[in-house]
Amino acid sequence: MPLSKRLSEKKLIEQIRRLALGGRSVSTGIGDDCAVLRVPPGHDLLVTTDFTIENVHFRRNWHPPELVGRRCLTRGLSDIAAMGGEPRAVFLSLAVAVAVPQKWVDRFLKGLLDLAKEFKVPLAGGDTAESPAGIQADIVVVGSVPKGKAVLRSGAKAGEQIYVTGDLGGSAAALARLAESKPMGAEYSKYLRPQARIAVGQSLRRRGLASAMIDVSDGLSTDLEHICQESRVGAEIEAEAIPRAQIGRGNKERGNKERGKKERGKKELAKKLIALDFALHGGDDYELLFTSAAVVPAQVAGVRVTRIGRTTRSAGMRLIGADGKRQPLLAAGWEHFA
Amino acid sequence: MPLSKRLSEKKLIEQIRRLALGGRSVSTGIGDDCAVLRVPPGHDLLVTTDFTIENVHFRRNWHPPELVGRRCLTRGLSDIAAMGGEPRAVFLSLAVAVAVPQKWVDRFLKGLLDLAKEFKVPLAGGDTAESPAGIQADIVVVGSVPKGKAVLRSGAKAGEQIYVTGDLGGSAAALARLAESKPMGAEYSKYLRPQARIAVGQSLRRRGLASAMIDVSDGLSTDLEHICQESRVGAEIEAEAIPRAQIGRGNKERGNKERGKKERGKKELAKKLIALDFALHGGDDYELLFTSAAVVPAQVAGVRVTRIGRTTRSAGMRLIGADGKRQPLLAAGWEHFA
């Protein structure tokens, strides 16, 4: 249906154009061959692209469209955060099959643009196309950072401390809950709305507190391995130090833990072990993982920061258990819908 | 198959990384959260994104993979050309279904990267994912242009001349030939390798010869309408002046035209009418369409430039026939596989 395709594409472009914000960095936005952006003098440019694909990164019957849109942009913003940068403009390439209801697209765009507004970053362009099946969105975020000051993955030295912001594993645990078709309480669903740590990343960069940094998008073990490989160091992580997301009944019952401890002992333990796996290998938390030669405050830009281990001269990653025993830690990133 | 997915993604990322070029503008390329780019002082940034989707923009049984990769990048480069800009870095987000042979991906990447090399522009990043079906590629090209000098679609004034580079309609005619399952001679297949007019765009911008500019990606009528709308002018195009691509037998037989002219008269005419339609509405030629208050040389940067009409105060577009009669010209962009 070529004509309807053309019309619906045109409609989508106009819809995005109407919804798009102007912005200080964008001198020409949607409606020309390219967007024209101003980069502040003395700044480097940051560019990141992230695909969000139906049935790979989200499922239409699991994820509300607003959250898909929000997360689509969060992925890009989080990459800017991991460089200590400032987001300046967003580009969205969106391919949608004819069978996808317009309402879904409306709500997806609302989620994405509401978040763009929160971060005061304009939608400056993109592309639209008809997809043969499902939804494919590619988000591009352009940012800036003072020249030469981007925090890379390659800056860690042996003997530094390893830190992480916020909690880990919440997103994976919420997804596992969805996969079991169990009801989602508010304790879970907040983990479907991860926050890009832009302010934390900038603060760490300005204060020189991060020697290497990455966002936890593929899971702690996988993303830590990226830092290790790029920096040519090893790492030791203390299992007990990892800040795990606390969700579901386990959370509510914390106060009553002493009561019935004996009866539920085994079950509680099993629960915790599962949570550690989520925290070690679960993705999509978008917290910042970084190394530092300095002592980092317990809070940065209002977000809790936890020391979880240290870099080592000897290659490879090791997990130190509660009993002090070391075992190899292998990168085993969370698989969506595994 | 989560594990194989992870492995093939990893392999794809490593493949792209190995193939990617370094470049003067890229201080950190593939292998960090963002690419870090240097923009020359006193320059604005240009950003364009273009989706290339299987069965929408190409068909695997029609288009050799190298040409798909080449064209994928040409679309982005052509947008930079239409601003009078210089391409600086390329980002590729590529989603491929498991069923797509690795050989196809290899050849696609070769086509894309060979062209990147021709234009000395590095592949600086991107994303890879498993697609549920087929191939989806989003290309991002980042370029630069001296501050405030980007040639926009909105700069045309009434009473200016309208020009176009090269020939029009060749790509659409070649596609029509493919759709009829007819053999493709070299005269056709060259139109599957359109050229991004980077040098022409820059020359026009430097010499102040283009008041408004766009690349002919959706077809002359559609792209001219974009200039008219953004510049708030109308346009008159002379049908006879449009430089049509010359392909197939019609071309070879030109010398013998006089012989048998009477016998073939009607057929020849029909052929020509079809060609005009392709030249008016066919897309994917990636020639530059621009307006100018100056007299533009017949060749710019080695490429033929043809005057095809003028902008008018009265809105709308009109086509002037060989008989001098005006008829309304409606935007009717070429539909892929219509």
CB contact under 8 A, A83 and B41: no
Positions of chain A with pLDDT lower than 70, given as ranges: 1-14, 16-24, 29, 184-187, 248-274, 333-338
Instruction: Nearest chain B residue to A85 by CA: give it.
Output: B34
Q: Which SS3 state, helix, strand or coil, does residue B80 take?
A: helix
Closest CB from B32, B142, B153 relative to A153: B32
| Best of B75, B138, B289, B337 to mutate (most A CBs within 10 Å, chain A) | B138
CB contact under 8 A, B131 and A53: yes
Q: List the one residue out of A165, A166, A167 whose CA is nearest residue A213.
A: A165
Q: Chain A: nearest CA to B292, how far in angstroms?
A: 18
Q: List the one residue out of A318, A23, A2 whose CA is nearest residue B281.
A: A2
How many CB atoms are closer than 10 A to CB A186?
7
Q: pLDDT value at position A238?
A: 97
Q: Chain B: nearest CA to A58, how far in angstroms?
A: 12
Closest CB from A57, A136, A338 relative to B136: A136
Token digits for A115? 């978040």
Buried b (16+ CB within 10 A) or exposed e, A207-225: eebbbbbbbbbbbbbbbbb
Q: pLDDT value at position B92?
A: 95
CB contact under 8 A, A124 and B47: yes
Closest CB from A28, A44, A215 relative to B152: A28
In angstroms, rounded to a whole number, what is the distance separating the alpha carbons of residues B82 and B210?
10
Instruction: Show Cβ contacts of residue A36 under 8 Å, excluding neighbours closer than 6 positions.
Output: A26, A27, A28, B44, B45, B46, B83, B145, B150, B152
Q: Which SS3 state, helix, strand or coil, does residue B187 take?
A: helix
Closest CB from B46, B50, B140 relative to A49: B140
Instruction: Nearest chain B residue to A286 by CA: give it.
Output: B33
Longest dimension (CA), chain A: 69
B132 contacts in A (CB within 8 Å)? Answer: 53-56, 133-134
In angstroms, rounded to a whole number, what is the distance separating the alpha carbons of residues A147 and A83?
12
Q: List the one residue out of A281, A289, A304, A64 whose CA is nearest residue A184.
A: A64
Longest dimension (CA), chain B: 68
Q: Which SS3 state, helix, strand or coil, does residue B127 take?
A: strand
In angstroms, rounded to a whole number, what is the distance separating the alpha carbons of residues A94 and A79?
20
How many CB atoms are closer than 10 A to CB A126?
28
In angstroms, rounded to a whole number, what is the distance separating the alpha carbons of residues A79 and A84?
9
CB contact under 8 A, B153 and A49: no
Q: Chain A: nearest CA to B204, how far in angstroms?
A: 16
Instruction: Nearest chain B residue to A96 by CA: give it.
Output: B53
- In total, the C-beta contacts within 8 angstroms joining chain A to chain B are 207
Q: Report yes or no: A29 and A124 within 8 Å, Cβ to Cβ.
A: yes
> What are the distances in angstroms from CA A147 to CA B46, B47, B86?
19, 20, 21
Instruction: Nearest chain A residue to B88 by CA: give it.
Output: A45
Instruction: Nearest chain B residue to A145 by CA: give it.
Output: B36
What letter does residue B75 receive in the DSSP assignment?
H
Q: Report yes or no: B194 and B292 within 8 Å, Cβ to Cβ.
A: no
Q: pLDDT value at position A260?
A: 47
B145 contacts in A (CB within 8 Å)? Answer: 36
Instruction: Nearest chain A residue to B286 by CA: give it.
Output: A33
> Hey, what amino acid is at A310?
R
Could you write out the three-class secondary structure of chain A? Answer: CHHHHHHHHHHHHHHHHHHCCCCCCEEECCCCCCEEECCCCCEEEEEEEEEEEECCCECCCCCCHHHHHHHHHHHHHHHHHCCCCEEEEEEEEEEECCCCCHHHHHHHHHHHHHHHHHCCCCEEEEEEEECCCCEEEEEEEEEEEECCCCCCCCCCCCCCEEEEECCECHHHHHHHHHHCCCCCCHHHHHHHCCCCCHHHHHHHHHCCCCCEEEECCCCHHHHHHHHHHHHCCEEEEEHHHCCECCCHHHHHHHHHCCCCHHHHHHHHHHHHHHHHHHHHHCCCCCCEEEEECCCCCCEECCEEEEEEEEEECCCCEEEECCCCCEEECCCCCCCCCC
Token digits for A148? 């030469």
Q: Chain A: nearest CA to B56, how far in angstroms?
A: 7
Q: Chain A: nearest CA to B8, how far in angstroms?
A: 13
Instruction: Nearest chain A residue to B28 by CA: give it.
Output: A152
Buried b (16+ CB within 10 A) or exposed e, A287-321: bbbbbbeeebeeebeeeebbbbbbbbeeeebbbbe
Q: Chain A: nearest CA to B184, how far in angstroms?
A: 25
Q: Chain B: nearest CA to A182, how far in angstroms?
A: 23
In angstroms, rounded to a whole number, what is the distance separating the alpha carbons of residues A50 and B129?
9
In angstroms, rounded to a whole number, what is the distance separating the alpha carbons of residues B212 and B152?
5
Q: Residue A308 CA to chain centroid, in angstroms?
A: 19
Q: Chain B: nearest CA to A183, how far in angstroms?
A: 25
Closest CB from B34, B140, B213 relative to A85: B34
B130 contacts in A (CB within 8 Å)? Answer: 53, 56
> What are the distances in angstroms from CA B225 to CA A247, B146, B222, B241, B316?
55, 27, 5, 18, 8
Q: pLDDT value at position B254?
A: 42
Q: For A17, phi and psi rounded to 5 degrees?
A: -60, -40
CB contact under 8 A, A335 and B136: no
Q: Chain A: nearest CA to B26, how far in angstroms?
A: 9
Reported as half-sphere exposure (CB side, CA atoms, 13 A), residue A138 has a value of: 32
A41 contacts in B (CB within 8 Å)? Answer: 41
Instruction: Nearest chain A residue to B29 by CA: give it.
Output: A47
CB contact under 8 A, B45 and A38: yes
Positions of chain B with pLDDT lower than 70, given as ranges: 1-14, 16-24, 29, 184-187, 248-274, 333-338
Q: pLDDT value at position B266?
A: 46
A44 contacts in B (CB within 8 Å)? Answer: 27, 36-38
Q: pLDDT value at position B283?
A: 87
Q: pLDDT value at position B265?
A: 46
Q: Report yes or no: B113 and A62 within 8 Å, Cβ to Cβ.
A: no
Closest CB from A138, A150, A215 relative to B36: A150
Token digits for A37? 């952006």
Instruction: Nearest chain B residue to A28 by CA: give it.
Output: B152
In angstroms, rounded to a whole number, what is the distance separating the alpha carbons of residues A302 and A170?
19
In angstroms, rounded to a whole number, what is the distance separating the alpha carbons of residues A150 and B238?
54
pLDDT tens for A29-68 read: 677 899 999 889 999 999 999 999 998 889 998 889 999 9
Q: pLDDT value at position B11?
A: 67
